[in-house]
A and B are shown apart, each in its own frame.
Chain A
Amino acid sequence: MTAMASSAFVYVTYIRSNPETVWQALTTPEFQRRYWFGMHQECDFRKGSPWKLVFEDGRVADDGEVLESDPPKRLVLRWRNRMRPELTDEGDARCEMTLADEGGATKLTITHSIALEHSKLIEAVSGGWPKILSSLKSLIETGEPMDSIYSRAKA
């Protein structure tokens, strides 16, 4: 019996909106800047296209490729950190986002995984996703993103 060594972070949130709106928020730079710590993504979100997560000052935080794209239901990214050498050295991770209409809300599931035990990348994103997704949920439901998460993270 040999399970493949891996690390994964799974997070589910229910957002009171339709999958089309949540998809747009996930894939549109103007939207992303408002809830993703001021960062945005450069990508056309078509299968095979390059993908980048970019800081306000233009530095690339992570990059990769669109492995699957089925708007507004499913997006899979190859994801490699470019900021911290010890995370870059871990190689490619996979980030899967699924959106399902659950009667009045969209069930958004993020599964971020890598074929490596005790991954530092997965540890890092485990702290980030709840902030990003809490801010996304607030932004869509109330029109207000969580600026105080952002300012504290920058400080």
Chain B
Amino acid sequence: MSQFVYVTYIYATPQRVWDAITKPEFAHRYWMHTNVSDWTPGSRWEHRHGDGSGKVLIDGEVLESDPPSRLVMSWARPDRSKEPSRVTFDIADFSPGLVCLTVTHDRLEADPAMASSVAGGWPKVLSNLKSFLETGACENIWLTRNKEG
């Protein structure tokens, strides 16, 4: 699989969805990890572990940034052992009060293990994001299982 696409509809404004993805104080509540950058094209971004260690799990470059509707970044293993992939967030006003969020993770040809990992991970992250924005619920639905595993 060279591309993973996930579409979800969320009761929120595009700005709230943008903030939930790009601001660590929101992301750590539903994603377990945080995304840190100044979010300007050409800047580095880091996907940091939410356990307080600050460990960088993924990093890359901000390729496009058009708040609050589009964010594109490269998605790389910190050791650069494989070619980076790419993540695109498209945040569209679908109807009043309702956002259509499309996440496209592509350029995964060179890293099948990453392809498999993100195909399992995105539905969890994006389900949690939707719950977080619609209900405020932020307990992590898969953290317990991962700890057990």
Residues of A within 8 A of B (CB): 11-16, 102-105, 130-131, 134-135, 137-138, 141-142, 144, 146, 148-149, 151-152
Contact = CB atoms under 8 A, between A and B. Distances in A.
Given A16-B141, A130-B7, A149-B9, A142 B134 contact: yes
A100 to B, nearest CB: 11
B97 interface: yes
A108 to B, nearest CB: 10
A6 to B, nearest CB: 15
B9 A141 contact: no
B145 interface: yes
A141 B134 contact: yes
6 contacts: A13-B8, A13-B127, A16-B137, A16-B141, A131-B9, A134-B10
Contacts of B7: 130
- B interface, how many residues as a size bin? 20 to 34
B131 A102 contact: no
Interface string B1-26: 00000111111000000000000000
A125 to B, nearest CB: 12
Nearest to B125: A14
A141 B123 contact: no
B16 to A, nearest CB: 15
Contacts of A148: 94-98
A105 B134 contact: no
A141 to B, nearest CB: 5
Contacts of B10: 134
A104 B139 contact: yes
B133 to A, nearest CB: 10
A102 B142 contact: yes
A144 B137 CA distance: 15
A60 to B, nearest CB: 26
Given A102-B145, A104-B141, A152 B9 contact: no
B123 to A, nearest CB: 4
B8 A130 contact: yes
B17 to A, nearest CB: 13
A151 B141 contact: no
Contact of B95 (A130, A138, A142, A149): A149
